[in-house]
């Protein structure tokens, strides 16, 4: 069919071609002349053979076919034309003489479209021929249109298919992009581990399972690297990153494929130990992790040590939310840190109470600053050479609206953790200086009475520390030579150069520096030497370990001689008994402070206290 369409000269605009097949030459002639005159191109054939040859040369637009022919009758010829692909569609009009036995039904069945009877009626012949030619032309036009349509549909289909393929490619690309984004949203870029979001999701899943299955238990771990900041600060972030990856890899070695190891933040990791029957198994894994991390990490340039503190919680259906479980595990981790780092700690509910307590304390502390709930108590310091009071230590207290007087050991750590220590300590300094300057012209107060103020290590990291200090000095007009600053060893532990510079600045202002709680920190003696201290305050724990027996005085004599050899004063803190005082005098300790002389006293009682001229 397709081939025929291709070969057919589809619509002819020139003269229509009619092939007349009749064994009677007369008939041929008559018909031919009628049609030629009507403007058709007419060809003639006497039999099937001739007709076939004529069609092979040019395909006619119409065939007029006689029925009665000697060798092969019109029906047969018609059937052959219809059977041949090229001619099958050419309309055939049968011609029959009136006396012929013409079977119209057979004619139509073999494929004829019309018939004309002899003798010919001129008009009738023309009308019938014209009709068929018109029909055929229309049919051919339709065919042409059809084929064009088909062509167009094909082209369209092809275009669409192409567009579809492109679309599918785009979908695949955007799908993979989406997957990548999802992957990024749920994973940590550095280590490739699940991040906090995914970790919480998995925790939630484990919790839900625990609620449905009685026998299902799991454990959670929170790991925080010990002093990781030091690596970042000293060796740089790239080394820090390299180390984190190495740590993650070592931890992974201690876990099974069903466990989840996630990076929860900077140097924090979380673990879900899935399907555990016993908490002891979690403890074993924690011990294994600590052991694996205890050997050096050989990084590309450096070799470093790094261990972690681990909090462990037992996950079960009692927890409502994954965040609560994580919070408790975090609390346990903090306990591990407080207990000395590089160890694990298992959560127990009391810790939660402590954490809540700390949170409440923090909230109250914020309000306390606004409401000015802080007060300073002053504890006298006695010069052992004269037995008279040489000065006071300013000690902070918090007058809590319903919990009463709170001691600094309870709230200073929280204030330091939250940064609230900065305004609080500045306030203490300001108040102590105001006190000093109000004493300067008081008749009952010796001129050189000192006040020592405890400053938290955090304060030294404030960029405007010295400027603030100068402002206080300027506004209170205090004589700086009678102001003393007490700092603990933790201040000089880190960042030596900067701290040294700040301490030098204080020295230039003639302020005295006291090393507080001497002996409880980690500083080495060589360290002590580089800083410009004026006195060492021996921690009360050492003073209280001095026994009645002279031969067993503990470390106090050594500490006093250290101060002596450095050419600075020794102050003993926490003196509670006469024996301790006697020993300290024997040892030539310069100053002492403790309940034996006086507990810290309220500001309003100081004048009376001094008027009584106490002496020991
Ligand atoms: P610290 O500077 O070593 O202060 C001495 C602590 O020992 C004071 O406790 C004092 O009341 C106590 N103490 C004095 N004599 C005796 C004694 O004979 N026996 C015993 N057992 N204890 C005695 P307090 O006032 O509770 O202060 C505790 C710590 O809080 C201070 O230790 C100091 O480190 C810190 N602190 C106090 N006030 C401030 C402050 O204004 N700023 C900062 N940053 N820290 C402060
Ligand atoms: Mg002190
Ligand atoms: Mg002290």
Domains and CATH numbers, the chain: 2-184 (3.40.50.2300), 196-347 (3.30.70.270), 373-605 (3.20.20.450)
Q: 7 pLDDT exceeds 70?
A: no
Alpha helices in 228-381 (DSSP H): 228-235, 237-253, 279-292, 322-338, 349-371
Count of beta carbons in the 10 Å neighbourhood of residue 569: 19
Which atom from ligand 1 is nearest to the alpha carbon of 395? 38
pTM for the full model? 0.55
Q: At residue 6, does pLDDT exceed 60?
A: no
Q: Is the dihedral of CA 229, 230, 236, 239 positive or negative?
A: negative
The answer for 509, left when phi > 0, alpha when psi is -120 to 50, beta otherwise, is: alpha
Give the residue, 263 or 182, on which the prediction is more confident.
263
* Dihedral angle computed from the Cα positions of residues 564, 459, 498 and 562, in that order, rounded to the nearest 10 degrees: 10
Q: Which atom of ligand 1 is nearest to the CA of 407?
A: 26
Nearest CA owner, ligand 1 atom 33? 454
Instruction: Report residues near ion ligand 3: CB below 5 Å.
Output: 516-517, 573
Distance 386 CA to ligand 3 centre (A): 22
Which residues, 6 or more positions from 391, have their beta carbon under 8 angstroms from its beta carbon? 380, 381, 449, 450, 451, 452, 482, 484
Distance 200 CA to ligand 3 centre (A): 44
Q: Give percent of the chain above pLDDT 70.
A: 95
**Atom 41 (ligand 1) nearest CA:** 396
By CB atoms closer than 10 A (0-12, 13-18, 19+), residue 97 is: middle
Q: What is the largest CA-CA distance in the chain?
A: 168
The b/e string for 405-417 (b: 16+ C-beta within 10 A; e otherwise) is ebebeebbebbbe
Query: What is the CA(395)–ligand 1 centre distance, in A?
Result: 6
Q: Cis before residue 119, ω within 30 degrees of 0?
A: yes
Coil, strand or helix at 394: strand
The alpha carbon of 448 and the centre of ligand 3 are apart by a number of angstroms equal to 22
Q: Which atom of ligand 1 is nearest to the CA of 459?
A: 44
Could you give the CA distance from residue 595 to residue 588 in angstroms, rounded to a whole number?
Answer: 20
By three-state DSSP, how is residue 99 classified?
A: coil
Q: Which atom of ligand 1 sits closest to the CA of residue 517?
A: 3
First to last CA, the chain: 131
CA atoms within 13 A on the CB side of 380: 22
Q: Identify the pLDDT of residue 8.
A: 46
| Three-state SS annotation for 273-306 | ECCCCCHHHHHHHHHHHHHHCCCCEECCCCEECC
Q: What is the pLDDT of residue 1?
A: 40
What is the model's pLDDT at position 557?
93
- Ligand 1 pocket, CB under 6 A: 379, 395-396, 407-409, 412, 425, 428, 454-456, 486, 516-517, 540, 573-576, 593-595, 600
Nearest to 94 by CA among 72, 77, 84: 77
Which is the closest atom of ligand 1 to the Cα of 453? Answer: 41
Q: Residue 595 CA: which ligand 1 atom is closest? A: 18
Q: What's the gap in Å between 358 CA and the centre of ligand 3?
A: 24
Query: What whole-number distance in Å separates Cα of residue 261 and Cα of residue 202?
Result: 11
Buried b / exposed e along 532-563 (16+ C-beta atoms within 10 A): ebbbbbbbbebbbebeeeeeebebbbebbebb
Cross-strand bridge partners of residue 571:
537, 591
Ligand with an atom nearest the CA of residue 377 = 1
Quote the CA–CA distance of 97 and 468 in Å, as a whole number: 134
The pLDDT, as a whole number, for residue 418 is 87
What is the model's pLDDT at position 523?
62
Around ion ligand 2, residues with a beta carbon closer than 5 Å are: 454, 486, 516
Quote the ligand 2 centre to 393 CA distance (angstroms): 7
Distance 522 CA to ligand 3 centre (A): 15
Structure tokens at 34: 């009628």
Work out the mean pLDDT of the chain and round it to a whole number: 90
Over residues 39-76, the pLDDT tens digits come to 999 999 999 999 999 999 999 999 999 998 999 999 99
| Structure-token pair, residue 204 | 């939630």
Q: How remote is the C-alpha of 357 from its chain's centroid?
A: 31
Which pLDDT does position 202 carry in this prediction?
96
Cα 444 to chain centroid, rounded: 66
> Which atom in ligand 1 lies closest to the alpha carbon of residue 376?
41
Q: What are phi and psi of 336, to 5 degrees?
A: -60, -40
Question: Residue 320: what pLDDT?
Answer: 87
Q: Which ligand is nearest to the CA of 539?
A: 3
Could you tell me the distance, in angstroms and rounded to a whole number, from the CA of residue 508 to the centre of ligand 3?
24
Six-digit token string for 332? 């346990």
Alpha carbon nearest to ligand 1 atom 30, residue: 408
Best residue among 408, 432, 572, 584 to mutate for probing ligand 1's pocket (most ligand atoms within 8 Å of CB) is: 408
Give the Å distance between the CA of 407 and the centre of ligand 1: 8
Evaluate if residue 11 carries a pLDDT over 70: no
CA separation, residue 256 to residues 4, 37, 252, 276, 563 (Å): 73, 102, 8, 12, 57
User: For residue range 480-502, what is the model confidence (pLDDT) as tens digits?
Assistant: 999 999 998 878 776 678 888 89
Instruction: Report the pLDDT value the prediction gives residue 12, as an integer from 0 to 100.
Output: 45
- Pick the atom of ligand 1 nearest to 396's CA: 38
To test the pocket of ligand 1, the residue of 454, 521, 595 to mutate (highest count of ligand atoms within 8 Å of its CB) is: 454
User: How high is the pLDDT of residue 13?
Assistant: 54
Q: Which atom of ligand 1 is least distant from the CA of 486?
A: 2
Instruction: Please tell me the distance between residue 608's alpha carbon and the centre of ligand 2 in angstroms.
Output: 24
Q: What is the whole-number distance in angstroms between the Cα of residue 458 and the centre of ligand 3?
A: 17
Q: How far apart are CA 89 and CA 141, in angstroms?
A: 13
91 with 59: CB under 8 angstroms? Answer: no
pLDDT tens-digit readout, 316-354: 778 889 999 999 999 999 999 988 889 999 998 776 677
Task: Encode pLDDT of 259-317 as tens digits.
Answer: 999 999 999 999 999 988 888 999 999 999 999 999 999 998 889 999 999 999 988 77
Quote the Cα angle for 54-57-61, to 5°.
70
């Amino acid at each position: 069919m397709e081939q025929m369409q291709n070969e057919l000269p589809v619509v002819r605009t020139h003269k229509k071609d009619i092939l007349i097949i009749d064994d009677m030459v007369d008939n041929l002639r008559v018909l031919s002349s009628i049609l030629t005159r009507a403007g058709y191109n007419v060809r003639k054939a006497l039999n099937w053979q001739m007709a076939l040859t004529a069609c092979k040369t040019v395909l006619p637009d119409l065939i007029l076919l006689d029925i009665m022919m000697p060798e092969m009758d019109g029906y047969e010829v018609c059937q052959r034309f219809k059977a041949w692909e090229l001619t099958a569609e050419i309309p055939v009009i049968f011609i029959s003489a009136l006396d012929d036995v013409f079977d119209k039904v057979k004619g139509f069945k073999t494929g004829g479209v019309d018939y004309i009877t002899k003798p010919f009626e001129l008009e009738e012949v023309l009308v019938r021929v014209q009709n068929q030619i018109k029909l055929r032309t229309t049919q051919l036009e339709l065919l042409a249109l059809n084929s064009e349509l088909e062509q167009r549909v094909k082209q369209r289909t092809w275009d669409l298919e192409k567009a579809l393929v492109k679309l599918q490619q785009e979908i695949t690309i955007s799908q993979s992009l989406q997957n990548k984004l999802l992957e990024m949203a749920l994973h940590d870029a550095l280590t490739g581990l699940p991040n906090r979001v995914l970790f919480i999701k998995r925790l939630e899943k484990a919790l839900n399972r625990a609620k449905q299955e009685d026998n299902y238990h799991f454990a959670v771990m929170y790991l925080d690297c010990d002093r990781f900041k030091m690596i970042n600060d000293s060796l740089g972030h790239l080394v820090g990153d390299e180390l984190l990856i190495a740590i993650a890899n070592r931890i992974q070695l201690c876990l099974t494929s069903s466990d989840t190891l996630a990076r929860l933040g900077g140097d924090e990791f979380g673990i879900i130990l899935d399907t555990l029957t016993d908490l002891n198994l979690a403890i074993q894994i924690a011990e294994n992790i600590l052991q694996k991390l205890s050997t050096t990490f050989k990084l590309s340039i450096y070799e470093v040590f790094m261990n972690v503190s681990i909090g462990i919680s037992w996950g079960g259906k009692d927890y409502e939310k994954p965040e609560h479980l994580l919070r408790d595990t975090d609390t346990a981790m903090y306990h591990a840190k407080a207990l000395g780092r590089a160890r694990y700690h298992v959560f127990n509910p009391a810790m939660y109470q402590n954490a809540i307590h700390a949170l409440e304390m923090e909230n109250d502390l914020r309000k306390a600053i606004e409401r000015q709930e802080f007060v300073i108590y002053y504890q006298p310091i006695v010069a052992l050479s004269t037995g008279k009071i040489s000065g006071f230590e300013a000690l902070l207290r918090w007058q809590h609206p319903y919990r009463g007087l709170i001691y600094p050991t309870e709230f200073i750590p929280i204030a330091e953790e939250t940064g609230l220590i900065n305004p609080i300590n500045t306030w203490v300094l300001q108040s102590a200086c105001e006190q000093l300057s109000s004493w300067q012209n008081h008749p009952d107060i010796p001129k050189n009475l000192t006040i020592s103020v405890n400053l938290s290590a955090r304060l030294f990291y404030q960029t405007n520390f010295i400027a603030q200090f100068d402002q206080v000095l300027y506004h209170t007009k205090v004589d700086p030579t009678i102001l003393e600053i007490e700092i603990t060893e933790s201040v000089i532990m880190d960042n030596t150069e900067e701290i040294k510079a700040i301490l030098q600045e204080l020295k230039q202002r003639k302020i005295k520096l006291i090393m507080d709680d001497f002996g409880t920190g980690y500083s080495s003696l060589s360290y002590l030497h580089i800083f410009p201290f004026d006195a060492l305050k021996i921690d009360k724990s050492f003073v209280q370990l001095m026994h009645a027996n002279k031969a067993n005085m503990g470390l106090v004599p050594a500490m006093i001689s250290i101060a002596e050899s450095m050419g600075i004063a020794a102050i003993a803190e926490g003196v509670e008994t006469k024996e301790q005082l006697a020993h300290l005098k024997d040892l030539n300790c310069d100053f002492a402070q403790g309940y034996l002389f006086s507990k810290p006293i309220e500001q309003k009682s100081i004048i009376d206290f001094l008027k009584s001229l106490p002496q020991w």
